[in-house]
Structure formats: C-alpha cells, structure tokens
Amino acid sequence: MPKYIDVFPKFTPGSLTYQPVPTFQYQGTLAEGLAAGLDRAEAWGMFDCMLYVRLFEEMIVRLKDGKYDQLPGYKFIGATHLSIGQEAVAVGAMSALHGDDLITSTHRGHGHSVAKGYYWLQGASNEELAAFIGTEVDINDRKGLLDCALQVHLNRAMAELFGKEEGYCRGRGGGMHIADFHMGHLGANAIVGGSYAIGAGAAVACDKLGNGKVCLTLVGDGATNNGIAHEAYNFAAMGQWERGCPVIFLIENNQYGMTGQQVGEVTDVDYLARRGSGYNPQNMHAEVVSGMDALSVRDAVARAAELCRTGQGPVLLEALTYRYMGHSLSDDRTTYRSKKEERAWREQDALDRFENELLAAGVATEDQIAVHRSLAADKIDRATLFAAHATDPDPSTIYEGLFADTTSANLDPKWATPTEALVGELPKPRKGALGLVRHAVTEALMEEMLRDQRVIIYGEDVADYGGAFAATRGLLDIFGRERVFNTAISEAAICGTACGAAMAGLRPVAELMYIDFILMAMDQVGNQIAKNRYMFGGKAKLPLVIRTTIGGGKGYAGQHSQSLEAVVAMMPGLKVVTPATAYDTKGLLKASIRDDNPVIFIEHQLTYLERGELPTEDYTVPLGVARVAREGTDVTLVAYSYMYYRALAAAEALAEEGISVEVVDPRTLIPLDVATIADSVRKTGRLVVVQQAPETGCFGEHIAYAVQREAFSSLQAPARLVAAFDVPPPMAPPLESLNIPSVERICAGIRETLGE
C-alpha cells in the first residue's frame, strides 16, 4: 500500500486564516416552520416531549424534598443531576434524528433518555411497539400502542432512577448511567467527557457497516476542557476518513461545569465552538445556536446530520442553555451565580417559548395547552408510582450482566470477507508446524479478519510500519486502510473509540504499543469499557480486544517495561489474557476476537521470537483454561507470559537435583482457572508463583490467595512468590537483570519452599 502523502519541506512566508464560526443564525418561528413543512402533529409532539422531560425532573425534586403527596415519606436516594431549563436541547436534537440513529449522553441525561425514547417510539412499527410493551395488546390500534409504549418508556426510565429491576438497566446504573440499546441510546456517562471517544467510535462503526446512521454525542461544557475532548475531535477529524466520520458533537453549554463558569473563569473563549477550527479546514462545521429554542436546535442538528450522512462529518455544535437547578440536589447554586442572571435566563424559558409559539401559530388554544399539561403530569405520576412499587433487585443476582456468555463462534456467513474486498494477495501458506510467537499474532489477526469483515485493526503505527514489534506487518497490504489504519498517539481515543465501535457493531482490535501507555487511557478502560455491560443492565455486547505488551530485559526502563496486568485484572468486566507459546498466542487471540466481551490481550516483548508449535489450520484455545505444561510431584510452579520459559528452565535445572516441579501456565488471568492450579497443589502440596511484576499488589498474590482458599489443607508449606522488586523497572543492565526473576531466583524460591 502506498503511504498517504509525501511531506516535503516548505518554508514560504504567509499566515494561517480560519473560517468564521456562525452564531445564532436561525431566527425562524413555528409559523414559518409549519409553512416550510413541519406539521402540526410534530409541533405538538415537541411540546409534549418537553413537558415529559420537565415534569419528569421536577418530580425528582418533589421526591427529594418529600413533597409528593402520593408517596408521603418516600426517601429518594442516588446522585441526581437535573437538566431543568435545558429541555429544548434534548427535544430539538432528538426530533431531528432518525429513530435508529445513535446517541451518547451525560450524567445530566434524563432528558436525553426521555426524548430519545419518545422519538424512537414515534418511528417504530406496530410490531416493534407491541414487542416493546411486552404484554398482550391490539396490534392494529396505533394510537393505543403509542400511548401504552410511551407509558412503559417513562416507567422504565423512572424505575432506573429508583434502582429497580424494571429499570432500563435493571437498577445497576441509576440516573447517571441510563441506556437503552435497542433505541440507539448507548448510555449516559457519569465521567465528564467519558463518552466523547465512545461516540466517535460508534460513528466509525456506522460508516464501516454502511448503515447510514449517525451518532449524536452530547457533552456538557465542562467536558470540553477534558483531554479526551481533544483526542476525540482529532480522531473524528482524521484526514484518512475518506467518507468523513458521521458524528455530531453537541456541547450542551449550560454555563457551568459544576460551579466553574466557562466564560471569563475556566476558559478564555467566548464560545466553545471556536475550538473546532483547530481540527480541520471546515472548523468541524462549528456553529453556535440557541439552546433555549427547540426549533433552533432542531434546525442545526438536522443540517449536521445531513452533513454526516453525505460524508462531510464530523460536526461540532454548541447550544447555549441554562440549568435552573444546581449541579446536584445538594447544590443551592447561590454561591456562584446571581439571581439577576437566573431571572434573565428564565425569561427565555424553552417550554414557555414553545407554548407561546403554538398559540401564536394558531396550532393550540389555552384550553388545549392545559389538557396536554394535565395528560403529561398524569403520565409522570403513573411512572413515579410504578417505579416506587417496582421490584428491588435480588442480591443473589449481583453478578448477572457482568460478562456475556456468547461468542461469534457460529458466525453468519454473510460476515465473511469477500475476496473482492481484499486489496492485495494473501501470503503463501507457511510451511512446517513451527512458527514464531510474532507470526502467531499476525496469522491470528489475518484469519479472523478473513473470517469476519467486522474485525478491524488500529492503533499507533500498526499500518505501514506493522507495529513496534512487526506483529501487524503485511495486514495493510491485504486488507487496506479501511480495516487497518494508524491513529494519533492518543491512547484514550484508541480505547474509547474501540468501546463505541464495539457497541455499534464492529469487532475492533486496538493496539497499545506498551502496557505502560494504558495508564493514559485508564478512564476509557476502567470506567467505560470494563463497566459498560454491567452498568447498563447486561444488555450491551463489547466484542473488542486491546492488544498490548509487557516487557523488561531490553533496557527500556521505567515507562516501557512495566508488567501492569494486575491493574487491569482488578477491573470487573475485563478478561485478561497472558499467553506465552506460539500455539497459545494464536489460539487465545482468535478466541478473544470471537468473544463478546472486552479482552486485554497481553503479549511479552521477549516472547515474539520464541519458536513453537503453530498449526496452520483454524483452531482456538478457550479462555479461562490453564495448562499443565510439565508434570511433577514435589512442587507446583505457576508462571505466565515470559516467566513461563524461565519456569520451565528452572524445572529442568531442579530435575538434575532430584526435585520434581509441576509447571502450570494459567494462560488467562481473568477468568482464572483456579481449579487446575488447586488440583496440582493437592498433588504436590506446595505452591510457588513466579511473575515479572513487582511483588506488592501483583496478580501473583491473588493466585496464591485463590489457591490457598481452595486447597489450604493440602499445603505443606506457605505459598511463595518470586517476583520483581518494588521499584520501577531500571535501565542499567545489572539492575534490570537483578529485578527480573531469574532461573536461579526461581530455583532458590522452590528450594526454600521445600525447606532445603
């Protein structure tokens, strides 16, 4: 494949100029909208939806204050962040999308959820409505179906805030993490800026799957100052996207990031949309609109969606709005804003404004408005009472939803990569039954990409260069840049977009060059990827793999040599794989790609040139199954990744002394096959765990604990750990050599365990 562009020196004097960012261009009225094609039913729908959003959140205030007469003394718990005053953004935006378009939301996202559901229901078929309701209904009664489905929607949304089993996420997420995937709602997010990259990744999936969808990524003004904002903007605006990235970043600027004021305090820009000029010549089509006017938001989002659908995304919109309440229900907002300011914004109230538009356009009368308000209030009352009396989750179900129990093993043939989609020839079959671990990685990736066209590979330098360890070399020549592409040095964006892409239908394999770099992406890995499925009620599938390396032994020192597998292993929701041999590397990587859960696949830099059995036929190695690599009777030695090779060498050396060592390779840390290790310990009576990570807090400590819990009565001596010292990996050869467990140190640990 040719490189993208030649970069030649050019030092001609000149200056950089930027296109202007339009502000508040829409000045239309509802009457003009009706004349241009908006029908009266749509106008009423926007008003009704804003009512549902406003009354839904006002109900939370009443409950928190104990002022809801139908539930006297009811105690509402949970962190709740209200968007009262911001209804025009939620309703205007959702009304402009297609029903099956995707959204990501924020911790202040009740309105987004209510509005997204409302508009999905409007576009659903009668059969879809009946399935959503879930009880016996008259499938031919469209009006009745819509009314019933809307009540079910509000019930489920309110039940989630109450932490109930009937909630959209089974009470696992609550108000800050509400989602409903079959409506295209990929989830609200309690981490400020957390969904930026998820939205970009979901949009990439929409493009590569060719489904015509866009992803609307709603973020607060505070999120724009987070590093992931820059990373996501840059990722979405990469020049290599030939069809653009169909994502709309919509900044819901309510003026305060908690209490920090954007204008004049925590930034020095008048409009956050200015930042679009830093990412492409089109300013990301940046625009500022009134977030107190639902029609203005609707107009802007409709135009943005059209840009995205025609290959001109991404788009950056800023909607200026205001939250009437404090950041949370414990914030009385008096310490950081004035009553004068608040009055001025309330005079622009979105709901009052739209009501006046309905009256002025002759769409509504005062009596009709009153009826609609009463009907909306009744629905919210019903939803509240439903939620209050709904089911508390059964404590015995606490693990439900953590992992999916499905894979793509039984793949529909339609997903196979067609021969005509390949841009180059496949390599000739490798001769012989042996191969390098590096070859095992390449072959596994190639075979899975051929098997399933939803598998894509991206990361730093994985395309032309083939990755820092040549593990992806040659894949670009076969599959082209549609499926193998470089990203910026932007670990949070790499991981976060993989999360969004997996949620939206792809099976991404993302590469982080060294596991040290995963610390740059810990929010995306730990708060987003790991928690996603469980937090959203076990509904999501996240078939993604993050390939990375651990190291040591090459003099790379403290920031390129760490063994941080314990860091990711302690995050429930991730599977962690640590292969050693060529055979296991290929089989486990293929199994990981087919798994419907996120997998952190950890390769060791020193194993890439190890040679071993490597069949050419298709096979997988199941996750969560350890392997007894060498039989023994005196002591069980557990070692994974590169330490596996040193464990075998130690066993060989001790055999000459008459000591019989059984070597067990866990292969995967999460899930950990405790049973196989415990069975070995029951036979040998002793346990030594060796690993390259520092001793304190390492995963080896967990292995020792887990085995002692299962086979304590069989142990004839305390379990022993042979590990690195509690220092960052040093560069100097004598120190690095001392730090990494050697064959001699392993042998010494075994002798001590045997009492010799």
- C-alpha radius of gyration, the chain, whole number: 29
* Residue 669 confidence (pLDDT) above 70: yes
Q: Cα 741–747–748 angle (5° rounding)?
A: 90
Looking at residue 293, its pLDDT comes to 98
Q: Phi first, then psi: what are they for 329, rounded to 5°?
A: -70, -15
- pLDDT, tens digit (0-9, with 9 covering 90-100), for 542-581: 999 999 999 888 888 889 999 999 999 999 999 999 999 9
List all residues 6 or more positions away from 638 whose beta carbon is below 8 Å from its beta carbon: 647, 663, 664, 665, 666, 677, 687, 688, 689, 690, 700, 703
Looking at residue 420, its pLDDT comes to 94
Whether the upstream peptide bond of residue 72 has omega within 30° of 0, thus cis, is no
Structure tokens at 482: 């549609």
- pLDDT, tens digit (0-9, with 9 covering 90-100), for 121-143: 999 999 999 999 999 999 999 99
Looking at residue 239, its pLDDT comes to 94
List all residues 6 or more positions away from 667 whose beta carbon is below 8 Å from its beta carbon: 577, 578, 579, 580, 584, 588, 621, 625, 626, 627, 640, 673
- pLDDT-derived band of residue 2, with 50, 70 and 90 as boundaries? low
CA distances in angstroms from 605 to 470, 473, 513, listed in the order given: 11, 16, 10
Topology given in CATH for the domain delimited by 30-389:
Rossmann fold (3.40.50)
H or E stretch at 128: helix 126-133
DSSP state of 474: T
Looking at residue 555, its pLDDT comes to 87
* Residue 328 confidence (pLDDT) above 90: no
* Residue 182 confidence (pLDDT) above 90: no
Instruction: Confirm if 538 and 403 have CB atoms less than 8 A apart.
Output: no
Q: Mean pLDDT of all residues in the chain?
A: 95
Whether the upstream peptide bond of residue 733 has omega within 30° of 0, thus cis, is no
- pLDDT-derived band of residue 429, with 50, 70 and 90 as boundaries? confident
Share of the chain above pLDDT 90, in %: 91
Looking at residue 246, its pLDDT comes to 98
Instruction: Confirm if 179 and 102 have CB atoms less than 8 A apart.
Output: no
Which residues are paired to 253 by β-bridges?
320
- pLDDT, tens digit (0-9, with 9 covering 90-100), for 283-311: 999 999 999 999 999 999 999 999 999 99
* Residue 104 confidence (pLDDT) above 90: yes
What number is the average pLDDT over the span 1-23?
88
Active-site pick, 81, 153, 560, 702: 560
DSSP state of 219: E
CA-nearest of 69, 154, 165, 59 to 115 is 154
Looking at residue 148, its pLDDT comes to 97
Count of positions (residues) in the chain = 756
Looking at residue 32, its pLDDT comes to 94
Distance CA 301, CA 251 (A): 12
Q: Give the CA count within 13 Å in the CB-facing half-sphere of 215.
A: 32
Task: Give span(s): CATH 3.40.50.970, the chain.
Answer: 30-389, 413-613
Structure tokens at 36: 């241009």
- pLDDT-derived band of residue 235, with 50, 70 and 90 as boundaries? very high
* Residue 1 confidence (pLDDT) above 70: no
Told to judge if 560 belongs to the known catalytic residues of this protein, a careful annotator would answer yes
* Residue 334 confidence (pLDDT) above 90: no
Distance CA 168, CA 178 (A): 7
- pLDDT, tens digit (0-9, with 9 covering 90-100), for 462-478: 999 999 999 999 999 99
DSSP state of 728: P
Distance CA 502, CA 504 (A): 5
- pLDDT, tens digit (0-9, with 9 covering 90-100), for 343-399: 999 999 999 999 999 999 999 999 999 999 999 999 999 999 999 999 999 999 999
Looking at residue 3, its pLDDT comes to 67
What number is the average pLDDT over the span 323-338?
89
Instruction: Confirm if 206 and 246 have CB atoms less than 8 A apart.
Output: yes
List all residues 6 or more positions away from 672 whose beta carbon is below 8 Å from its beta carbon: 624, 626, 666, 702, 703, 706
Looking at residue 430, its pLDDT comes to 85
3-state secondary structure of 113: helix
At CB < 8 A and 24+ separation, what contacts does 66-75 make? 68/384, 70/381, 70/384, 70/385, 71/384, 71/385, 71/388, 74/388
- pLDDT, tens digit (0-9, with 9 covering 90-100), for 16-60: 999 999 999 999 999 999 998 999 999 999 999 999 999 999 999
What number is the average pLDDT over the span 607-629?
96
- pLDDT, tens digit (0-9, with 9 covering 90-100), for 53-75: 999 999 999 998 888 999 988 88
Which residues are paired to 602 by β-bridges?
548
Task: Give span(s): CATH 3.40.50.920, the chain.
Answer: 627-753
Distance CA 66, CA 59 (A): 10
For the domain 413-613, what is the CATH superfamily, name and number? Thiamin diphosphate (ThDP)-binding fold, Pyr/PP domains (3.40.50.970)
CA distances in angstroms from 749 to 286, 346, 445, 721, 725, listed in the order given: 63, 72, 38, 8, 14
- Determine the CATH number of domain 627-753: 3.40.50.920
Looking at residue 331, its pLDDT comes to 85
* Residue 676 confidence (pLDDT) above 70: yes
Task: Pinpoint the alpha helices (H) of 626-689.
Answer: 643-655, 674-684
DSSP assignment of 40-82 equals: HHHHHHHHHHHHHHHHHHHHHHHHHTT--TTSTT----S----
* Residue 176 confidence (pLDDT) above 70: yes
Looking at residue 330, its pLDDT comes to 84
